[in-house]
Amino acid sequence: MEIEYAEYAAVEDVFLYMSAVAPPIKNTMPVTTYRGHVMSFIPLSPATGGSYLMVYTRADLEPGIYEFDAAERSYRPVTSIERADRAYFVAVRPTRDTIADAAIAGL
């Protein structure tokens, strides 16, 4: 497994990047909060699954749903996904994540 990295200064930067590269009809995306990092893995070789881009920042988020406003570069926790003009991120905190463990070890 090969991992490339894109480190950002803040959670807002990760959310901005993720909302920019997501397909136009997709406004809900997962992020992982694990071992002091907020991250998402993007497959670079979808056919083989051998190469990933880890987009991350050193931060922590509580698990839940976050509404992100790209124009304001701000996010806030919400209880439901309601607006089509906003991007939403579902933060999860796994007990164990072997891909994230390997990626963090490579930093």
Distance CA 98, CA 20 (A): 27
pTM over 0.85: yes
pLDDT(55) > 80 = yes
What are residue 96's phi and psi, to 5 degrees?
-145, 140
pLDDT > 90 in the chain, percent:
75
pLDDT(76) > 80 = yes
Give the domain ranges of the chain: 2-105
